[in-house]
Structure 1
Amino acid sequence: MNLATKSHEARPRERLATLGASLFARGLATGTSGNLSVRVSDGWLMTPTNASLGTLDPDRLSKLDENGRHVGGDRPTKESLLHLALYGQRPDAGGIVHLHSTYAAAVSCVDGLDPAECVPPLTAYFVMRIGRLPLVPYHRPGDPALATAIHDLAARHHALLLANHGPIVSGTTPDSAAAAIEELEETAKLFLLLRGIPTRPLSDQETAQLSHGR
């Protein structure tokens, strides 16, 4: 990086590395699964392909320009198209977190989910941080058709569950996206624990009251 780039990107680079290490240390990412990104004034910074979130090097993060072209750092994650599709529909998004976290990934494999709302509104915080969670049909990782499917839903939803894959969530910052995806993971855990047990999700009126404050 040149000096101008360092001053412009130093903080977001360090923040992505710190966030990745935190997610990895707490078991929300394993091996080289999952990827993070942050919007900067002239494009995006993303985690490289085959990189562990636990050992990210801030100086080796992938840099993409405003047109999504790789212009610096290591080669970006093959799921960069998913991030770009979400950013393209959500101008307020400053950061995106995509994980293969255990419970959310497990829910994504369950048969018979409602594609419009694959996890019910079990808790107030799930509604406030996630809202309605749609299921994106299965496509192989890296398939451009998956980015198209995300693009079609992203204008209405900042959080999506990819079938047989895992969640992707945008936020105003990478930290807010991470907080939301952690709430999703905990609610997915509740959803699986409660399967077969009579439950009372929040009513439409109750979710509407919470959504107005989101």
Structure 2
Amino acid sequence: MNPITKSHESRQRERLATLGASLFARGLTTGTSGNLSVRVSDGWLMTPTNASLGTLDPERLSKLDDNGRHVGGDRPTKESLLHLVLYRQRRGAGGVVHLHSTYAAAVSCMDGLDPAECVPPLTAYFAMRVGRLPLVPYHRPGDPALATAIHDLAARHHALLLANHGPIVSGTTLESAAAAIEELEETAKLFLLLRGIPTRPLSDQEVSQLDRRR
């Protein structure tokens, strides 16, 4: 690995650890829940299993090669297969964020959701940063069948809500994935606050007029 590549990977390690600390400090993740990943020139960096996002050590992040094999650092998150599916289905993805954030996780536990669009486009920023949000049927965390379940959906959607679990979002950069998942969390909060209140989501025409940014 040449010095330029090493420098780039070092910066990505720092960015991932800094973002994890920010998400943890703002209550978007607790304990050792949630996981992050970022693309590097020869594979991916991921948060280790049972690691708190608030205290990530950049040097101990898991390193996976282009084939998804663990080649360095601590053992990767058990959700690594989900991250890899998103990267492989979305070639432009540069980062993936998966959280168990309170309001999105609460929505994921609700009965009677539309599996094709489980949170409506209540705001323009949700429509632009998240888009249509499908609900993925429940599988236990780390179950390889969950990666299979999201395979086709991931080709069409960069944001997914895992039933009784939480959201996972990819972005062109780690920061854009984080911005989208934060928008998802805030819209999930609005969705719950508005339950039982007559509500007007954006129309299909209004959504189509927005310039979606990932």
1:152 match: secondary structure: helix
Name the SS of the counterpart of 1:38 in structure 2. Answer: strand
How far apart, in 1, do the equivalents of 2:89 and 2:212 lie? 22
Moved beyond 3 Å, runs of 4+:
1-6
SS in structure 2 opposite 1:96? strand
- How big is the shift at 1:213? 4.5
Report the secondary structure of 1:31's partner residue: coil
Could you tell me how far apart the structure 2 residues matched to 1:65 and 1:148 are? 21
Instruction: Compute the displacement of 1:171 (Å).
Output: 0.3
Q: Is the 8 A contact 2:129 2:212 kept in 1?
A: no
Match of 1:128 in 2: 128
Give, in whole Å, the separation in 1 of the partners of 2:84 and 2:53: 19
Helix, strand or coil for the counterpart of 1:85? Answer: helix
Q: In structure 2, how many angstroms separate the alpha carbons of the residues matched to 1:85 and 1:179?
A: 20
Amino acid at match of 2:116: A
- SS of 2:120's equivalent in the other structure is coil
Partners of 2:7 and 2:181 in 1: CA distance: 29
Instruction: Mark the CA change 1:51 to 1:2 in structure 2 (over 3 Å): closer, same or farther.
Output: farther
Name the CA distance, whole Å, in 2 between partners of 1:6 and 1:27: 32
Give the CA deviation at 1:151: 1.1
TM-score (norm 2): 0.97
- What secondary structure sits across from 1:7 in the alignment? helix
- Which residue identity does 1:138 align to in structure 2? Y
Aligned to 1:179: 179
Distance, in Å, in 2 between the alignment partners of 1:202 and 1:92 is 28
Structure 1's 60 and 23: CA in aligned 2 closer, same or farther, altered over 3 A?
same
Closer/same/farther in 2, CA of residues 56 and 48 from structure 1, 3 Å limit: same
Q: Distance in 1 between matches of 2:36 and 2:112?
A: 30
Task: State the partner residue of 1:36.
Answer: 36
Cα offsets for 1:45-77 (capped at 9, x unmatched): 000000000000000000000000000000000
Cα distance in 1 for residues equivalent to 2:5 and 2:173: 20
CA–CA separation in structure 2 for the residues paired with 1:208 and 1:5: 40
Whole-Å separation in 2 of the counterparts to 1:54 and 1:37: 15
AA aligned opposite 1:12: Q
Which amino acid is the alignment partner of residue 160 of structure 1? L
Pairwise CA RMSD: 1.4
Query: Per-residue displacement from partner, 1:149-169 (whole Å, max 9, x unpaired)?
Result: 111101100000000000000
Deviation readout 1:120-143 (Å, 9 max, x if unpaired) = 010000000000000000000000
What's the CA shift string for 1:11-42, capped at 9, x where partnerless? 00000000000000000000000000000110
Q: TM-score, normalised by structure 1?
A: 0.97
- For 1:112, the equivalent position in structure 2 comes to 112
Distance (Å, rounded) in 1 between the aligned partners of 2:9 and 2:212: 33
Give the 3-state SS of the residue equivalent to 1:155 in structure 2: helix
- What code does the residue aligned with 1:116 have? A
| CA–CA separation in structure 2 for the residues paired with 1:213 and 1:163 | 25
Q: Distance in 2 between matches of 1:94 and 1:143?
A: 24
- Calculate percent identity across the aligned residue pairs: 90
What runs of 5+ residues in structure 1 fail to find an aligned partner?
A: none
Tell me the equivalent position of 2:151: 151
- Secondary structure of 1:199's counterpart equals coil
1:75 aligns with: 75
Provide closer, same or farther for how the CA distance between residues 213 and 80 of structure 1 changes in structure 2, counting only shifts above 3 A.
closer
Q: Aligned partners of 1:201 and 1:40: how far apart in 2?
A: 38
**What is residue 167 of structure 2 aligned with on the other side?**
167
